[in-house]
Chain A
Amino acid sequence: MKPHIITISNQKGGVGKTTTAVSLAHGLALKGKEVLLIDLDPQGQCATTLGLTPEPGAFYLLTMGTETHETTFLKQYVRNTGREHLWLIAGNQTTMAAQTVLNSQNKPYSVIRESIARFTRGNLNYIIFDTAPSVGGIQERAVWAADMVIIPTSTEYLSTDSVRKMTEMLIMLQQSKGWHGSLLGVLPTFYSDQLREHRAAMEDLRQGFGDRVLTPIHRAAVLGECPGESKTIFEKDPESRAAQEYQDLVQRVLKHS
């Protein structure tokens, strides 16, 4: 069975992409699914959050071919996270260089999908991409590789505006680049129902996306503490509201894949 490929993407930074990618990946792994998390963000924070060191795994994934010796080399960068069923290909600053390589070689949109095909023949259930907050080539290709896209967004005007830009990108990929994936939903993050601006932004999202607005992740100090302790929310405080809300996201993914 082929793994489901999920890309967590938004062109805006600081909307909770990495937290969402790590929490979703660990949540699925806790359900017994084999999950490979791939960090395409040059900041390499997926590794830090999981207690590992950022390294050029993503660079090699993006730039190497699919010959056997290249795959053997790349597989050295598939790290055991110390958590059952959860694997990581970490990234670091070299991922930015990979973007330059991809663009200079004019690689097609399908390049990432083709590159991860080497992992789709194993027993993996999910491949999750965390992307960088920029439009430079990698993000579009990571979205093109995805079966499902999740757009995290903080509930502020500027963030919801970036959701509009993301959806325009999805429509472009769908209509003119032959993308076959679909939008799982928009995930409001850092939500506080006491703030009028947040409620208004939620209302905007609901008007635009209807039932595709996922259960919001409320602003929580515990989520900010997780990376510092190299723990996921399910390890730090599994009973917290944030953990329950990410659990809802895990359930949603399971029901749609």
Chain B
Amino acid sequence: MWDQPTPQPPSAPVSQPTPEALPPVPVPTAPIPIIDQIRVTEKKKRSRSWDEQNRATAFRGIPPEVQAQVKAVAKTLDVTVSEVARAFLEFSLESLRRGDLRLSSSFSQGKMMLYSNAAWGQSAAWSERPAGTLPPAPKKKNAKAVQALELEKPWRRPMVSYRHLPAGVLENIEELREQHSVPVGEVVSLLLRYALAAYEDGRLVLHPQPRRAAHLDIVS
């Protein structure tokens, strides 16, 4: 076990200095790292004001080849992609208004829904199976085929954003979407495809104009 402390004889009291008489004891401090003594360049904060003022409209499901074609036209004309997209959409919507372009929707094979917009509240979306009957055995699907199908789904395609689309254009697209019960991306794809074909045929001509210079000159 531990040793017991041996009792010490009482010693004569030593006169202790009063707290007021004690000199201040310097507290040891760690040296300040050199980097903390120098002002360092902070990372620039990115201004988002331009993005806020120039909101982009994003569309999903535009096929990559259509996106690439629009981009190629923009590059050829030395204008922005959004401007080409706007011109194409305006042209297609105008063609639609004139009756040169007609849209029709059809049921998609392989895609099912429980509640259709057209028969809201009228179609029977569910029913009870009579007691004692077995559900049909589910068909086995090829895993690779399922994966490939999954990758092809429009919502898996990357989104594309166009800026400065006029409100009227967006309203017309929204109307078409409601009218045909199809995704917005599908409407936009179709309109872009139509305009691209017209552009390639030479029916649609785009007129790029030089940008106004940023510098002012004095005219004497």
> CB within 8 Å of B: which residues of A?
147-148, 164, 167, 170-171, 174, 181-185, 208-210, 212, 255-257
Contact = CB atoms under 8 A, between A and B. Distances in A.
Contacts of A210: 33, 35
A256 B38 contact: no
B9 to A, nearest CB: 54
Interface string B22-45: 000000000001110111111110
Nearest to A207: B33
A182 B42 CA distance: 9
Contacts, number: 42
A208 B42 CA distance: 18
A167 B38 contact: yes
A209 B37 CA distance: 11
B38 A170 contact: yes
Contact of A171 (B33, B37, B43, B44): B37
A169 to B, nearest CB: 10
A210 B35 CA distance: 8
A256 B34 contact: no
A99 B43 CA distance: 34
B42 A183 contact: no
Interface residues of B, number: 11
Contact of A182 (B33, B34, B37, B39): B39
A212 B40 contact: yes
Best-buried of B37, B38, B44 by chain A (most CB within 10 Å): B38
A170 B39 CA distance: 9
A255 B42 CA distance: 9
A167 B42 CA distance: 17
Chain A CB within 10 Å, residue with most, of B35, B37, B42: B35
Nearest to A6: B41
A164 B42 CA distance: 21
A256 B35 contact: no
A171 B38 contact: yes
B42 A256 contact: yes
B38 A174 contact: yes
B213 to A, nearest CB: 13
B38 A183 contact: yes
A208 B34 contact: yes
Closest 6 CB pairs of A and B: A182-B39, A182-B41, A184-B41, A256-B41, A209-B35, A183-B38
B36 to A, nearest CB: 9
Interface string B131-164: 0000000000000000000000000000000000
11 contacts: A147-B41, A167-B37, A171-B37, A181-B39, A184-B40, A209-B34, A210-B33, A210-B35, A212-B35, A255-B44, A257-B41
